[in-house]
Structure 1
Amino acid sequence: MDMTAPHLFDSHMHTPLCGHATGHPREYAQAALDAGLAGIVFTDHIPMPAWYDAPWRMRLDQLAEYVDMVQETRAQFAGRLTVGMGLEADFHPGTERFVEEVLAAHDWDYVIGSVHYIGAWGFDNPEFVDEYQRRDLGSLYRHYYALIEGAACSGLFDSIGHLDLPKKFGHRDPDGAAALRVLDTIAALGLSLDYNTAGERKPVQEAYPSPGLLAAAAERGIPLVLGSDAHRPQEVGYQFGAAAQRIGEAGGTIAHYLNRVRTTDEEAQP
């Protein structure tokens, strides 16, 4: 964690309810306060139909507990840290109605739309990394970005999560054309991008999106929402100083969401 400018938010973080994170939300909030952040938004993995990805997300019957935990943390840190309540929602064709119902159940601050599966393959799960050896990378990325375009066009989300996630284990896009096309769509629809520093903690050792895609997003006027993708309190605000510098050097704009309304970095400063 690094000390950062006091107007920055960490808008991508999880809780133990997802089954693969540790630490109470109050510990994440304290870490953000210690890092000098202005606010955080919890975005734990949305409940999904029981047949989809069950070990890696909260169950529907845990959603009220999640809301209570975040609201209790918000009250505890009132006047010291802004605490938002959001979700990282999955886009998986056929589940849109279920996701829509969950999003209508509460007043969320921010909803990230992410793709973690290509068909039945959880491509970012280290347990299944050997499947990359059986795939043509060009075809894989074209399929992935078609799903990302579907997420963008669904109207369900405020931003697109970790744009170039299939590179997580070092399998980089050999082309790039599909990524640029989907950035055109994201820009046309007025969505934002999750600037996710978790990639720097993964084998690829690079944030999502890559420097090239960051520059392309900035050229298109797509705002970047900083997120550590923290699954432990120690990861809150991870490398945000360097991330903010990279975004600035690329000519990009940092933003955050509350009440599903976007505020840019410039607007947030007095």
Structure 2
Amino acid sequence: MKDGHIHTPYCPHGSNEALESYIERAISLDYSSMTFTEHAPLPPSFTDPAPNRDSSMKMEDVNDYLETVSRLKKAYKDDITIHTGFEVDYIYGYEREIEAFLDRYGPYVDDSILSVHFLKPANDWYCIDYSPAMFNQAINDAGSIYNLYSLYYAQLKESALCDLGRYKPKRIGHMTLVKKFQQIYDPPAEWRHMAIEFLDIVKKQELSLDYNGAGIKKEYCLETYPPLSIATLASSKGIPLIYGSDAHHPDGLKQGYETLNAKLIMK
């Protein structure tokens, strides 16, 4: 049992539970390895559109985060393999600041994820998974839900193709996050074609995918990121799928695992 997407108390919109609580919970679930992928600090010149500006960890906490995970890796080495990582946001137009962060901290990281949470359809930036209300604002700014989905997948493609230096993450996070509120806002009929086109880029760039169970627990999503049909297609193309709980609390570990196809997951 491996989990490649786990958050920590360093996440300001998550849980204050100690890192040890996550590790002890993982051991109780018979995990063989776990990767802490805390939200990397956003680029210094970027303004977080979330109302509380709490989408990522603080820059001043990065060294403590790395040192604490390093200490716990040693403390629990006989019980579980622990990897140090980040969930790095790809934000169009901020590539050089993202690369600078990766150049600085990449040498201390084992395994990371590259995700898209932020879009600027026209006038403003939005965190598309923050709330149904903010998602609706993004739709209005984009002009249609089709335009918003098109922009999301265009940004995913850019994230896969862009040069972020030698420490660029090799795994794309929750590639269907734009569907988080699909029970309220019907996805455009073309979303599947957009996703399939993206898989071809992932394959060509030799990247892997986060097979994320968190969407199952989101009341307006109720499916994994990506859903089974896309995950199956990705696997058939030879794209590695890495299970991620995307847990923001120890109780979130292994969430959604029972609903996905474990045979598709890279061992």
TM-score by length of 1: 0.85
Alignment check: 8 A CA contact 1:41 1:84 kept: yes
| Equivalent in 220, 236, 248 of residue 231 of structure 1 | 248
Q: Alignment partner of 1:16: what SS? A: coil
Offset, 1:173? 4.1
CA distance in 2, matches of 1:24, 1:40: 15
Q: Which runs of 5+ in 1 are unaligned?
A: 1-7, 256-264, 266-270
CA distance in 1, matches of 2:78, 2:55: 33
Q: Alignment partner of 2:238: what SS? A: coil
Alignment check: 8 A CA contact 2:88 2:115 kept: yes
Change in 2 beyond 3 A, CA 1:173/1:43? farther
CA distance in 2, matches of 1:103, 1:116: 18
CA distance in 1, matches of 2:41, 2:250: 22
Offset, 1:133? 5.7
Alignment check: 8 A CA contact 1:118 1:144 kept: yes
CA distance in 1, matches of 2:253, 2:238: 26
Q: Alignment partner of 1:30: what SS? A: helix
> Size of the alignment, in residue pairs?
243
- The AA in structure 2 aligned to 1:83 is I
Change in 2 beyond 3 A, CA 1:173/1:76? farther
CA distance in 2, matches of 1:173, 1:211: 18
| Equivalent in 125, 133, 137 of residue 130 of structure 2 | 125
Alignment check: 8 A CA contact 1:167 1:173 kept: no
CA distance in 2, matches of 1:173, 1:179: 12
Offset, 1:55? 1.7
Offset, 1:239? 3.2
Which residue of the partner structure matches residue 6 of structure 2?
13
Alignment check: 8 A CA contact 2:34 2:83 kept: yes
Which residue of the partner structure matches residue 174 of structure 1?
189
Alignment check: 8 A CA contact 2:139 2:145 kept: no
Alignment check: 8 A CA contact 1:162 1:208 kept: yes
CA distance in 1, matches of 2:247, 2:129: 16
1:60 aligns with 2:59: yes
TM-score by length of 2: 0.86
Bigger mean CA deviation after superposition, 120-129 or 131-140: 131-140
Which residue of the partner structure matches residue 259 of structure 1?
none
The one-character-per-residue Cα deviations of 1:158-210 (angstroms, maximum 9, x if unpaired) are 11110111110113342122211111000111100000000001121100001
Change in 2 beyond 3 A, CA 1:166/1:227? same
Which residue of the partner structure matches residue 109 of structure 1?
110
Offset, 1:213? 1.1
Which residue of the partner structure matches residue 173 of structure 2?
161
| Equivalent in 214, 230, 247 of residue 231 of structure 2 | 214
How is 1:229-268 mapped onto 2 (pairs within 5 angstroms)? 229-243=246-260, 246-248=261-263, 252=264, 254-255=265-266, 265=267
Which residue of the partner structure matches residue 260 of structure 1?
none
